[in-house]
Structure 1
Amino acid sequence: MDNKLEIKYRSQKQLFEILDDEIIVDLNTAKHKLKYNIPLEEIKNTHFITKTKQNGFTLIAYLSIVLNFVFAIYISSEYLKLSKNLLLSLFFSIAFGSIFLLKSLFEDYDEKHIDSSKLFYFIYTKKNALEVDRFIELVYKKQIEFYRKKYFIIDPILPYTVQYERYIWLYSNKYINENEYEVIKEDLDKYFNFNINLKE
């Protein structure tokens, strides 16, 4: 799977890219215009979904424009001597067109937030939900790979207890399985038993 995700929703755009140890986040949304990096270590395995609402001022502004347009047609109809049937069809056309436009403009969408040290959310619609969920799975997969690469080693410099606690942490968070835990623990014991001075 690709390590990039681009989301376009109306005039909003989000771009995410997974690197070896961090994620590049580029937000150009109604709420945020930001670009920053989030280290993989600072992303938690919890998320929540919020529903966005359009602000009331924008709705009032659009309604005001529509009402002013209807009023202008009504006034100009006196001078243009439009028939009542034509005037009614104009009003109904404008009303239905306005309702359709307002409905599409003010359709709510969800935001899927991932808990992390920095703002990390996705515009989440029915259309892109599967793609976003797959990308989030990839983020967690890359995070596991990152932790394994960083901590699932025997370090000749670090004390025995620190390394042992790392392996327990990896195992308790399910970044390694029980068999891997037993093998690395055994290797660590062998290494420090062979180099007896290092264990102290």
Structure 2
Amino acid sequence: MENKLEIKFRNQKQSFEIIEEEIIVDLETSKHKLKYNIPLEEIKKTHFITKSKEDGFFLICLFSFALNFLFLSYFIIDNYKLGNVFLQSSLLTISLVLIAIIKAFFDGHNEKHIDASKLLYFIYTKKNANEVDQFIELIYIKQKDYFRKKYFVIDTVLPYNIQYERYLWLYTNNYINDHEYEIIKEDLDKYFNFNPTI
């Protein structure tokens, strides 16, 4: 899978890219215009979904557009001396269409947030839900690989108890399995010659 995700939704854009030890986040949404990096070790496994509404400026613009369109329609129908029944049915039809458009825009969209040291959320719609979920899984896979690469080695400088706690932490967070945990523990004991006080 690709290490990059771009989300475009109405006038909003988000892009995310996973590099070696961090994620590059570029948000251009109605709420935020930010660009920053989040280290992989500062991303947690918890996430939640919130419902986001459109901002007030968009509401004012849409209302203005609808009102201008209704007035324009009325003047066109009035200038061509079309009948009252045609006028009423046209305005009713146009009004219903505009109400449907307004409702569609103001249903909002979901945002999937991941707990991290900095803001990390994805615009989450029916169209891109699968793509976003796959990218989040990729983040966790890359994070697991990063932790294994960084902490799943025997360090000649660190004391025995700190290294042992690291391996225990990797094991309890499911970054390594039972077999790997037993092997690294045995290797650590052999390296320190079965004497944890060295």
TM > 0.5 between the two?
yes
Alignment of 1:1-200 (within 5 A): 1-56=1-56, 58-71=58-71, 73-74=73-74, 81-193=81-193, 199-200=197-198
| Counterpart contact for 2:46–2:114, Cα < 8 Å | yes
Distance 2:69 2:181 in 1: 72
> Once the 2 structures are TM-superposed, how far is the Cα of residue 128 of structure 1 from its aligned partner?
0.5
Matched residues in 1 for 2:63 and 2:42: separation? 44
Letter in 2 for 1:181: Y
Alpha-carbon distance in 1 for matches of 2:187, 2:79: 95
Instruction: Measure how far apart 1:77 and its partner are.
Output: 5.5
1:137-191 deviations in Å (ceiling 9; x for gaps): 0100000000000000000111111101101111111111111111101101101
State the secondary structure of the residue aligned to 1:138. helix
Count of residues in Structure 1 that have an aligned counterpart in Structure 2: 198
Q: Secondary structure at the match of 2:192?
A: helix
Moved more, 108-117 or 91-100: 91-100
Which amino acid is 2:45 matched to? N
Structure 1 residues 54-63 or 88-97, which shifts more? 54-63
Q: Distance in 2 between matches of 1:72 and 1:164?
A: 76
Cα deviation 1:111-133 (Å, max 9, x = unaligned): 00000000000000011101100
**Which residue identity is paired with 1:159?**
P
| Offset, 1:96 | 2.8
User: 2:30 touches 2:55 (CA, 8 Å); kept in 1?
Assistant: no
Choose 151-160 or 91-100, whichever is displaced more.
Answer: 91-100
Q: How far off its partner does 1:44 sit?
A: 0.2
Q: Is the 8 A contact 2:111 2:121 kept in 1?
A: yes
Check conservation: 1:50, 1:112, Cα contact below 8 A. Answer: yes
CA distance in 2, matches of 1:37, 1:167: 27
Deviation at 1:11, TM superposition (A): 1.0
Aligned counterparts of 1:127 and 1:73: Cα–Cα separation in 2: 35
Preserved contact between residue 193 and residue 199 of structure 1 (Cα < 8 Å): no
Q: Secondary structure of 1:193's match?
A: coil
Letter in 2 for 1:130: N
Structure 1 portions without partners, runs of 5+: none
TM-score, length basis structure 2 = 0.90
**Kept in 2: contact 1:22–1:39 (CA 8 A):** yes
- Aligned letter for 1:46? T
Q: Which is further off, 51-60 or 18-27?
A: 51-60
Q: Secondary structure at the match of 1:14?
A: strand
Bigger shift: 87-96 or 3-12?
87-96
Partner amino acid for 1:95? S
Secondary structure of 1:34's partner?
A: strand
Residues 192/94 of structure 1: CA separation in 2 closer, same or farther (3 Å cut): same
**178 and 58 in structure 1: CA distance in 2 versus 1, 3 angstrom threshold:** same
Cα distance change of structure 1 residues 79 and 11 upon mapping to structure 2, 3 Å threshold: closer
